[in-house]
A and B are shown apart, each in its own frame.
Chain A
Amino acid sequence: MSAVTELRPLADAPSVAVRDAWGNTLVALAEQYPELVVLDGDLANSTRADIFAAAVPDRFFEMGIAEQNLLGVAAGMATCGYVPWISTFTAFLTSRALDQIRVVVAQPHLNVKLCGSYSGLLTSKTGKTHQSVDDLAVFRAMPGISVIAPADANELAAAMRSMMETEGPQYLRVTRDASPVVFPENHLFRLGKAELLRDGGDVSLISTGTQTIRTLEAAELLAARGIQADVLHVPTLKPLDVEAIVAAAERTNAVVTAEDHSIIGGLGGAVAECLGEHRPTRMRRVGIRDTFGESAPNDALLEKYGLTAKHVADAAIALLEGDRP
């Protein structure tokens, strides 16, 4: 078992909006990388690309409400040595511009950084048209694209630094709202590596994206009931850290996955595929259960669609008690 990543305790963690960190990190990276450009689909004040537009106006390109062209222009700039970062909502990236991503980004393996803001269910009361329940599944299935879903603002910044150092198309899942920052500021992101965040031994909670924060809370709920949970955070869904996932299963023989995404094709799917081949293990998948969302406050959405810390903890208890899902 690899070393446990040092985290700030949840109780002391300040809250930072992940999208703000995204905009600020672009500005910081632009100083170091003159080839970095940002292309926006008329959502810069939502995605927080506006921070970049104000700081580096000559490398910010507004492309209007036309996502298909946005991706094509980015591809063209990538062939000329620029590194375009895309500013739009996940739902429009994954669905509206998917053929463009397939044909002019993924197939020619161009160095375009696909950033999907407002991912998952928590999209500021915009509802099912603006939420994304399938982006991890879609990009996992697309050849040649790495898939990254950071847990908090600091891990996001570290992932973005890593993305600038890695040639090729990558998908970065960005959430909109504030969430506790548990990763240290100097965190080093390693593409394709999972992070063991908590060392328990009774059950392995495997999570991705900002759902990892709620999964850490779930581990505390379980500890209060005498159950010691591992928390394995998987910020890279592709390439998947098979070794770490198999090691977690070896250790506890009980795996619960958790994600703000459909249980089909995302982290739950990836872990099930991995363990099915390498080490069949009892597991439960916490996530959105093959449905679209709706517009509502975040707490209400997490409760109705089964993504709270208590839902994760309950899934672990049920698994350990041997209940059938």
Chain B
Amino acid sequence: MESSTAIDPRDSQSTSLEALSARTRGLILETIHHAGAGHVGGPLSATDLLVHLYFRTLNIDPARPDWPERDRFILSKGHSSIAIYTVLALRGYFPVAELRTFDAIDSRLQGHPDMTRLPGLDMSTGSLGQGLSPGVGMALSAKLRGQGYRTWVMLGDGEIQEGQIWEACFTAARYELDNLTAILDANNLPQFGWPSPEGFTRDRPYDDPRAKFEAFGWHVVECDGHDHADIERAFAEAVAHTGRPTCVIAHTIKGKGISFMENQFTWHALPPNAEQLAAALAELELEASE
């Protein structure tokens, strides 16, 4: 496990976002391998978006996780917790070595994010479909107090099957929360899927998130969720858009970055064994840290 200190984004000229993404993926896989359990596919699809947020976009200070003016972030797809933990550690919220405690008894790094345990988490999540509503509350609070911070919520494309997401969309548009951005991690692979006459399929029933978000009064922008330049463009458009909340539909690949995990639903939640971990780290051009 890497024990390097946090990376200051101001000094990141030497550390590209692409390199940070690779390090994040390596730490995710090492942690899940060590824990012997945990989600893999979703954290890897969300990695570039989270790295971009925490190293380029969010106005935050790891030394002051309760700073009232900080930008807020909610990982609504809470089962990708290891991805946010890894990015928080690299960004300096806690030591990278603490990732080793993931899922252990008394750990601050619970299977799903627990804001009562780990400073830097703005909301506890895990029961899917619930994260956007607290985001609405945070954005509404900023408007009420005249504060300039922004609220970002990452949604999984599976969890938007939950009706509460659309309740939240409805009220966000009603209160013209242009200080709220939802990021849809559209990796197209649910945990189990749907039966069909042709046999079992993981293709969802009719699904058009752009049409849905637009119908609920949101501005929508799409991007390649693994291309930092394209993410930059989409996030900038979200920040610039006024009068309505924005949904960034980020097209992603479940298991992104590891050839034998990409688009393979079996890697939704499967710890890699030692051999698979070594192969994955080799693909990421990383040294094993143990």
Query: A residues within 8 Å of B by Cβ?
Result: 37, 58-59, 61, 63-64, 66, 68-69, 71-82, 84, 99-100, 102-104, 107-109
Selected interface stretch from B94-102, B165-173, B276-284: B165-173
Neighbour of B137 across the interface among A58, A64, A80, CB < 8 A? A80
Complex contacts, A79 vs chain B, CB 8 Å: 115, 122-123, 134, 137-138
Flag if B171 contacts A64 (CB, 8 Å).
yes
Please, how many angstroms separate the alpha-carbon atoms of A75 and B115 in the complex?
Answer: 12
Complex contacts, A72 vs chain B, CB 8 Å: 130-134, 136-137, 164, 168
Within 8 A of A (CB), among B121-144: 122-127, 130-142, 144
Residue of B nearest to A75 (CB): B134
Complex contacts, A82 vs chain B, CB 8 Å: 141, 144
Interface flags for B54-68 (1: CB within 8 Å of A; 0: not) read 000000000000001
Complex contacts, B115 vs chain A, CB 8 Å: 79, 108
Given A103-B126, A104-B123, A108-B124, A69 and B141 contact (CB-CB distance below 8 Å): no
Please, how many angstroms separate the alpha-carbon atoms of A68 and B134 in the complex?
Answer: 11
Please, how many angstroms separate the alpha-carbon atoms of A80 and B171 in the complex?
Answer: 18
Given A75-B137, A104-B130, A69 and B167 contact (CB-CB distance below 8 Å): yes
Interface size grouping (class) on chain B: 20 to 34
Flag if A100 contacts B142 (CB, 8 Å).
no
Given A79-B122, A80-B138, A82-B141, A99 and B133 contact (CB-CB distance below 8 Å): no
Residue of A nearest to B133 (CB): A72
Neighbour of A108 across the interface among B123, B132, B138, B171, CB < 8 A? B123
Flag if B138 contacts A69 (CB, 8 Å).
no
**A-B contacts at CB below 8 angstroms, number:** 105
Residue pairs across A and B with Cβ atoms less than 8 A apart, 16 shown, are: A61-B175, A64-B171, A68-B130, A72-B134, A73-B133, A73-B136, A76-B133, A77-B138, A78-B137, A79-B137, A100-B164, A102-B127, A103-B127, A103-B130, A107-B116, A107-B124
Flag if A66 contacts B123 (CB, 8 Å).
no
Complex contacts, B144 vs chain A, CB 8 Å: 37, 58-59, 82
Please, how many angstroms separate the alpha-carbon atoms of A184 and B68 in the complex?
Answer: 41
Asked if B163 lies at the interface with its beta carbon under 8 angstroms from chain A, I say: yes
Given A63-B171, A68-B164, A73 and B123 contact (CB-CB distance below 8 Å): no
Flag if B134 contacts A76 (CB, 8 Å).
yes
Complex contacts, B126 vs chain A, CB 8 Å: 103
Complex contacts, B135 vs chain A, CB 8 Å: 76
Given A68-B133, A100-B164, A77 and B141 contact (CB-CB distance below 8 Å): yes
Residue of A nearest to B138 (CB): A76
Flag if B124 contacts A61 (CB, 8 Å).
no
Nearest 10 A-B pairs (CB), nearest first? A76-B137, A72-B133, A76-B134, A69-B167, A66-B167, A80-B141, A73-B137, A77-B137, A68-B164, A76-B138
Please, how many angstroms separate the alpha-carbon atoms of A81 and B145 in the complex?
Answer: 11
Within 8 A of A (CB), among B218-246: none
Complex contacts, B114 vs chain A, CB 8 Å: 107-108
Please, how many angstroms separate the alpha-carbon atoms of A100 and B126 in the complex?
Answer: 11
Complex contacts, B145 vs chain A, CB 8 Å: 80
Please, how many angstroms separate the alpha-carbon atoms of A58 and B145 in the complex?
Answer: 11
- Nearest CB of chain B from residue A64's CB, rounded to whole Å: 7
Complex contacts, A107 vs chain B, CB 8 Å: 114, 116, 124
Residue of A nearest to B136 (CB): A73
Residue of B nearest to A59 (CB): B144
Complex contacts, B174 vs chain A, CB 8 Å: 64
Neighbour of B133 across the interface among A58, A64, A69, A102, CB < 8 A? A69
Please, how many angstroms separate the alpha-carbon atoms of A73 and B130 in the complex?
Answer: 10
Flag if A61 contacts B123 (CB, 8 Å).
no
Flag if A99 contacts B137 (CB, 8 Å).
no
Residue of A nearest to B137 (CB): A76
Please, how many angstroms separate the alpha-carbon atoms of A74 and B167 in the complex?
Answer: 14
Complex contacts, B138 vs chain A, CB 8 Å: 76-77, 79-80
- Nearest CB of chain B from residue A243's CB, rounded to whole Å: 30
Flag if B167 contacts A68 (CB, 8 Å).
yes
Flag if B142 contacts A76 (CB, 8 Å).
no
Please, how many angstroms separate the alpha-carbon atoms of A71 and B167 in the complex?
Answer: 11
Residue of B nearest to A67 (CB): B167
Tell me which of A37, A74, A104 has the highest count of chain B C-beta atoms within 10 A of its own C-beta: A104
Please, how many angstroms separate the alpha-carbon atoms of A61 and B164 in the complex?
Answer: 18
Residue of B nearest to A66 (CB): B167
Neighbour of B123 across the interface among A58, A76, A84, CB < 8 A? A76
Given A76-B136, A77-B140, A69 and B168 contact (CB-CB distance below 8 Å): yes
Complex contacts, A68 vs chain B, CB 8 Å: 130, 133, 163-164, 167
Given A66-B171, A69-B171, A99 and B140 contact (CB-CB distance below 8 Å): no
Given A76-B141, A79-B138, A82-B141, A100 and B133 contact (CB-CB distance below 8 Å): yes
